[in-house]
Structure 1
Amino acid sequence: VVQVFPTKHAVGLRSDEGLEILIHVGIDTVHMHGEGFEAYVKAGDRVKVGDLLLSFDLALVQQSGSPLTPVVITNGDVVDECHREHIEQAERGSTVLMKVKLK
Structure 2
Amino acid sequence: MFKSLFKKKTKILYAFADGISVDLIEVKDEVFSQKMMGEGIAIKPSDDKVFSPCDGTVVAVMKESKHAVGIKTSDGVEMLIHVGIDTVILNGEGFQLYCEEGKVVKKGDLLLSFNRELLKQRDLDDTIMLVVSELNSHKIASFNAGAIIKAREGILIEYI
Which band: TM-score by shorter chain?
Answer: 0.7 to 0.9
Structure 2 counterpart of 1:5, one-letter code: M
Tell me which residue corresponds to 2:98: 40
**RMSD, aligned CA:** 1.7
Correspondent of 2:85 among 27, 35, 60: 27
Instruction: Please state whether the residue corresponding to 1:60 is helix, strand or coil.
Output: helix
Query: Whose relative contact order is higher, 1 or 2, with alpha carbons under 8 Å and at least 6 apart?
Result: 2
Identity of aligned residues (%): 37
Q: CA 1:48 to 1:57, structure 2 compared with 1: closer, same or farther past 3 Å?
A: same
Correspondent of 1:5 among 62, 67, 70: 62
Moved more, 51-60 or 88-97: 88-97
The yes-or-no answer on 1:74 pairing with 2:128 is no
Instruction: Please state whether the residue corresponding to 1:97 is helix, strand or coil.
Output: strand
Query: Which has more strand, going by share of residues?
Result: 2
Preserved CA contact (<8 Å) 1:39 1:55: yes
Question: 1:83 deviation in Å?
Answer: 1.3
The two structures have a TM-score, normalised by structure 2, of 0.58
Tell me which residue corresponds to 2:108: 50
Structure 2 counterpart of 1:15, one-letter code: T
Alignment: residue pair count: 101
- 5+ unaligned residues in a row in structure 1: which ranges? none
